[in-house]
Structure 1
Amino acid sequence: MIEIGKEYSLSITDVALPSAFGVARAGEMVVFVPGLVPGDKARIRIARLDKRFGYGEAVELEERSAFREKPVCAHFGECGGCDLQQLAYEKQLEIKQNHLLQALKRIGGIHLEEVDISDIVPSVDRFFYRNKVEFSFGEDAGGQTILGLNEPVSPLHPYTGAIMPVRECCLFSPAAAKMLPHVREFVERSGLKAHNPTSGKGSLKRLVMREAKQSGEILINIVSESGIAGQLAGLAQTLKEAMPQLASVYTTTGNRTTLLWGRPYLEETVCDLVLRIYPLSFFQPNPRTAEELYKTIIPEAGISRNEHVAGLYCGSGAIELCLARRVKEVRGIDSSKDSIACAKENAAANGLENCSFFRDRAERAGVHCPPDRRDVVIIDPPRSGITKEALRAIVEMRPRKLIYISCNPSTFARDLRSLAQEYEPKHIIPFDFFPHTGHFEVLSLLERP
């Protein structure tokens, strides 16, 4: 009988995703343990018990896994940015592949032997791959304003929202290490305070950095509770002098952005297109690996130059724009006003005249795609997957093929089950967009039976 507070010597056999907790068994009870990896054996104190599983805390590492590696980042474990830096990258890929297979089998009801499932495609870069990071402002115990990353979520203690002052982020860019000291010094000098949602005092909420991976250009956006553009002018000047690659400095309050200095957008090169990225634009966070996925779509789906493509949940239209020169016409649908505006601007800037973008919900995609304009439908929904209404709309559109891109294997598998009467998965290719985390992307081709 497993009891809370008691310690047990347990072996870790797997990692649960997306939490990235180590998995052990104590009798019939599954125990999740943060920080441990397959092959570890540890003394574990049981902290919580539910009906079918429990959570434990590693008290002592008794046997070190052969898959353990020294984390590259000095802050690993202190912030919530990543979970698996201590695990060999090849093992991370193996665990993600297995997680996908289990989701397809258990949730999707897929007969794995009947579907061509490729090995996961590694990230082009294992570190410094992200094009965006969000730092948060907070207060230390002495009431001083601090800037860093949020504490990791853990089942072992309540989440407090504490901010960990970091010097770098190995998932984002070396540019963060150059920027952070200047912002901290300016904040201390200016007397600006972090926003406290309980008291309503203070203004500073977040600092968002974006980097164009091809050029190294940087966009900085300071998010505040109230308009403080005038007070931030000095910071813009300081950052401009300290960072030659800086292209833009913004401040944002609510949905209103104000350009303090520089060009209004970053320019990122993807699939030989130069795409503009604004402070509120959605763009895949690992653009170099995303480009590999985009290049796979045409040969995978067998799309010809005479066919029409519709993109649902198109965001800023990166996928649709990358396909435009290889097909007759593309149409994109997304509910975000900013994303659709960005997609239209990028189409014009790249001289793509066969692109149309519509601000609407995916559930109404058929309104914008006449029956003769829906040979192939590309679906790239949020983590929650496709709504039931959108699934019905897709089936009613009756495209020849579907390309489903997902960032959540569980909802992806659920949606495949819902589509099973109308479309069968033919090929599934996972891509590791997010090394050292419990997340990855999946590309799939579906056809009518």
Structure 2
Amino acid sequence: MQCALFDAEVCRSCTWLSRPYGEQLAAKEQHVRTVLGDPPGLAWAPVVASAEQGFRNKAKLAVGGTVQQPTLGILDPGGVGVDLRTCPLYPATLARSFDPLAEFVGRASLTPYDVPTRRGELKNVVVSVSPDGELMVRFVLRSQESLARIRKHLPWLLGELPTTRVVSVNLLPEHKAVLEGEHEIVLTEQAVLPMRLDVPLRLRPQSFFQTNTQVAVELYRQARAWADDAAPSSVWDLYCGVGGFALHLARTDREVTGVELSDEAVAAARESAAEAAVDATFVAADATAHVLATPPGEAPDLVVVNPPRRGIGTELATWLEASRTRHVLYSSCNPTTLARDLAAMPSLRPVRARLLDMFPHTAHSELLTLLARG
């Protein structure tokens, strides 16, 4: 992939961009094999490659500059805005929204937040695109000071971006290095962005979804195939988000429960299950606390875990080791914490693994591993 921003050293976020893509994939697979120790009996499926550009379904754009000339992209080490509207990682359906959004900043008089002085209102603009090309737009603000102006000019924005389904304001009053706050104000009648995959999912403003739709589809397909081979009658999907794994693994003869801390994500998962007439239950709870409250003898046949980079941790791994669970599907974005968690579950041996390149041009990837008790 050629990127003028990278060549000009304006942005170096794609740290592996200078490496041929085939070399990137080989290096990632070798790295995870080395970290896991390539245990005997582990069968590796072929790597799932990504498109090299236009693969991101979400743009997290820090806002800098001025009301009249805003930048949408990142902030440099001094807190100055760097405009990345021409970044080739975004598909055209998403990139076409950037210029109207920049103009909207001026129309609604949204003062970009200045990190060094801690003044201003608009911190980030977050835009997601569905497989159908529909958009969700979120404005991350310090306060509600500009909310009335956003409402006033919203018809103009919807006219410029007619595929927009959801617009919201997220409030982040604190000065800290996070993307968003807890409070969300939805400004459109529609509060959900449909994500039509093999099983339709629904994305709410604060819900997590994999950033690479094409590779996410392959991830869910592989999980479903391995789960069907294992033929469990009961499944837990921990850290389930909007229910991607749970809804793809659900069957009429299979009891499926998803557990997720985010109320918004659980609400979206329940709506998806109802829309698709899928028999799955979703619980809003901390995954580890929910599991530890269950006697190990009442564990399901199969547990899916898709934790953040820190992994599942000692408590959950110890519980799984002591449980009656026959199989675990572990989707990991961090092979180091995966290896640590596997060491705490020696009775659950990795038997299948597949690397999925969710994040091209970086050292990161997703690894799906099937563990079997033996």
TM-score by length of 2: 0.88
Residue by residue over 1:172-215, the C-alpha shift from the partner in whole angstroms, topping out at 9 and shown as x without a partner, is 222343222223233234443122355442110100000002x1
Bigger Cα displacement from structure 2, 215-224 vs 281-290: 281-290
Which position in structure 1 is the counterpart of 2:365? 440
Cα distance in 1, alignment partners of residues 295 and 113 from structure 2: 45
CA contact (8 A) 2:113 2:120 kept: yes
CA contact (8 A) 1:305 1:327 kept: no
Which position in structure 1 is the counterpart of 2:18? 86
CA contact (8 A) 1:169 1:176 kept: no
Q: How many residues align?
A: 362
Which position in structure 2 is the counterpart of 1:216? 133
Q: After the TM superposition, which residues 194-343 of structure 1 pair with which residues of structure 2 at under 5 Å, given as runs?
A: 194-197=112-115, 199-213=117-131, 215-227=132-144, 228-253=146-171, 254-271=181-198, 273-303=199-229, 307-325=233-251, 327-343=253-269
1:206 is matched by which residue type in structure 2? N
Correspondence for 1:134 among 48, 56, 60? 60
CA spacing shift, 1:327–1:416, aligned 2, 3 Å: farther
SS at match of 1:388: helix
1:177 is matched by which residue type in structure 2? A
Cα distance in 1, alignment partners of residues 289 and 317 from structure 2: 8
Cα distance in 1, alignment partners of residues 207 and 103 from structure 2: 29
Cα distance in 2, alignment partners of residues 326 and 440 from structure 1: 33
Cα distance in 1, alignment partners of residues 234 and 313 from structure 2: 24
1:181 is matched by which residue type in structure 2? D
2:45 is matched by which residue type in structure 1? S
Cα distance in 1, alignment partners of residues 277 and 60 from structure 2: 33
Deviation at 1:296, TM superposition (A): 1.4
CA spacing shift, 1:326–1:80, aligned 2, 3 Å: farther
Q: After the TM superposition, which residues 350-389 of structure 1 pair with which residues of structure 2 at under 5 Å, given as runs?
A: 350-367=276-293, 371-372=297-298, 374-389=300-315
Deviation at 1:437, TM superposition (A): 1.9
CA spacing shift, 1:259–1:335, aligned 2, 3 Å: closer
1:116 aligns with 2:43: yes
Correspondence for 1:149 among 54, 66, 73? 73
Structure having the higher Rg: 1
| Higher share in strand | 1
Cα distance in 1, alignment partners of residues 295 and 282 from structure 2: 10
1:426 aligns with 2:344: no
Bigger Cα displacement from structure 2, 337-346 vs 184-193: 184-193
Cα distance in 2, alignment partners of residues 176 and 316 from structure 1: 21
CA spacing shift, 1:245–1:169, aligned 2, 3 Å: farther
Which position in structure 1 is the counterpart of 2:90? 172
Residue by residue over 1:309-360, the C-alpha shift from the partner in whole angstroms, topping out at 9 and shown as x without a partner, is 1111112211101111365111112222222222222222222234343423
Which position in structure 2 is the counterpart of 1:34? none
Unmatched segments (≥5 aa) in structure 1: 1-70, 153-158
Deviation at 1:217, TM superposition (A): 0.4
CA contact (8 A) 2:300 2:325 kept: yes
CA contact (8 A) 1:78 1:151 kept: no
SS at match of 2:249: helix
Which position in structure 2 is the counterpart of 1:413? 339
Cα distance in 2, alignment partners of residues 95 and 306 from structure 1: 34
CA contact (8 A) 1:312 1:332 kept: yes
Deviation at 1:242, TM superposition (A): 1.6
Deviation at 1:306, TM superposition (A): 6.0
CA contact (8 A) 1:222 1:251 kept: yes
CA spacing shift, 1:270–1:310, aligned 2, 3 Å: same
Give the superposed CA RMSD: 2.4
Residue by residue over 1:134-176, the C-alpha shift from the partner in whole angstroms, topping out at 9 and shown as x without a partner, is 1011237xx9762222257xxxxxx334321123232222234
Cα distance in 1, alignment partners of residues 121 and 22 from structure 2: 43
CA spacing shift, 1:424–1:296, aligned 2, 3 Å: same
SS at match of 2:320: helix
Deviation at 1:303, TM superposition (A): 4.5
1:217 is matched by which residue type in structure 2? E
Cα distance in 2, alignment partners of residues 285 and 191 from structure 1: 30
Cα distance in 1, alignment partners of residues 232 and 99 from structure 2: 54
Unmatched segments (≥5 aa) in structure 2: 172-180
Bigger Cα displacement from structure 2, 176-185 vs 431-440: 176-185
CA contact (8 A) 2:257 2:283 kept: yes
SS at match of 1:279: coil
CA contact (8 A) 1:167 1:177 kept: yes
Aligned identity (percent) is 30
Which position in structure 1 is the counterpart of 2:175? none
